[in-house]
């Protein structure tokens, strides 16, 4: 039996209420070509996102959380808002992959909150939270238009989930990141806003937040840059500058290096996976390193292994370079 076509006015994502208003019978809403991500919502199956398997797991999980949040927003009651990990994903903050998935590798349930004294939401696919009035600030996302905690309050909420001190600093760095290139967006928040959120009341992880706050910087472009900086500083080495522009002898821009000791002409460059997979990017990297060397700079190339498994080796390389240059 051929299925009745859906009215075009509904689009590919619609609520049951809209479908009934458009005259769609209840039996049609139970057809196999429709998916039910949340109660009261229907999605045409062939419109569900299919992410390439080769993309990093964290990127796939974040994309799934974002897509689910935007679907749930269609049926979310007016007194609810996104918080914790879901809000951080919607803001595009740098998160460790382990908090984006559950124990089985599936995308984390949506963090949905209400203000006390309302009871926390209970719904399939949702992890409900009840928060105190003064311990949260909520805004509508400038792009997605959904209600969620502000970037600063999202950060302080994440202290209950993020146990790695370096990651907690990296997330805050992502909130206050200033534009460094012409296409960069404006910061999501300020250092004052982070401090105000920390002072808003008692919460899980408050000691870690207080310790992280003085370590936040506005010029870190990635989670790995933040971790690299903190590893170096905690080893007793001078703190490097972040995203430092380097010029040649006649004032031409050679490039912007991730971390730098300008007075010693030492640069640290983090080599992400995309540097290796993209031949064009790889060629640009080689040309930039040669130009830096010609200008008298010593380049230390850093990988994920250096940041997570080989910290001792990284510290030794940086300390040796600093000693020799002095």
Task: Give me the residue spans of the domains in the chain.
Answer: 8-47, 57-217, 233-325
Say what the pTM is. Answer: 0.84
pLDDT tens by residue, 21-52: 887 887 777 777 777 777 777 787 754 444 44
pLDDT given at position 47: 47
pLDDT given at position 53: 47
pLDDT given at position 92: 96
pLDDT given at position 122: 87
Q: What are phi and psi of 206, to 5 degrees?
A: -65, -35
Contact 292, 299 (CB under 8 A): yes
pLDDT given at position 222: 93
pLDDT tens by residue, 188-207: 999 999 999 999 988 899 99
Long-range contacts of 205-212 (CB under 8 A, 24+ apart): 205/156, 205/159, 205/160, 205/162, 205/168, 206/159, 208/159, 208/165, 208/168, 209/155, 209/156, 209/159, 209/168, 211/165, 212/165, 212/168, 212/169, 212/172
pLDDT beneath 70: ranges in the chain: 1-2, 46-56, 273-279, 281-282
| Torsion on CA atoms 231, 234, 238, 240, rounded to nearest 10 | 30
């Amino acid at each position: 039996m051929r299925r009745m076509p859906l009215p075009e006015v509904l689009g590919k994502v619609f609520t049951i209420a809209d479908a009934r208003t458009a005259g769609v019978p209840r039996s049609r809403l139970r057809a196999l070509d429709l998916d039910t991500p949340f109660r009261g919502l229907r999605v045409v199956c062939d419109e569900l996102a299919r992410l390439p398997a080769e993309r990093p797991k964290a990127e796939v999980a974040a994309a799934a959380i974002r897509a689910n949040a935007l679907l749930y927003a269609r049926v979310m009651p007016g007194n609810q808002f996104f918080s914790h990990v879901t809000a951080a994903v919607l803001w595009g903050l740098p998160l460790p992959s382990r908090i984006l998935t559950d124990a089985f590798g599936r995308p984390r349930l949506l963090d949905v909150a209400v203000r006390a004294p309302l009871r926390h939401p209970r719904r399939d696919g949702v992890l409900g939270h009840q928060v105190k009035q003064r311990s949260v600030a909520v805004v509508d996302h400038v792009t997605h238009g959904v209600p969620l905690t502000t970037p600063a309050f999202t950060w302080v909420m994440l202290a209950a989930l993020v146990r790695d001190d370096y990651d907690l600093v990296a997330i805050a760095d992502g909130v206050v990141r200033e534009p460094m290139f012409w296409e960069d967006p404006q910061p999501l928040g300020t250092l004052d806003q982070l401090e105000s959120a920390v002072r808003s009341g008692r919460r899980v992880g408050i000691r870690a937040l207080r310790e992280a706050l003085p370590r936040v910087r506005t010029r870190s472009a990635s989670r790995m840059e933040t971790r690299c900086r903190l590893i170096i500083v905690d080893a007793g080495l001078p703190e490097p500058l972040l995203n430092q522009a380097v010029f040649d002898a006649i004032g031409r821009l050679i490039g912007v290096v991730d971390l730098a000791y300008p007075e010693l002409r030492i640069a640290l460059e983090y080599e992400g996976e995309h540097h290796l997979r993209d031949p064009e990017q790889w060629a640009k990297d080689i040309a930039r390193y040669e130009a830096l060397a010609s200008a008298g700079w010593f380049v230390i190339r850093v990988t994920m292994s250096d940041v997570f498994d080989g910290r001792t080796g990284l510290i030794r390389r940086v300390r040796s370079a600093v000693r020799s240059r002095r």
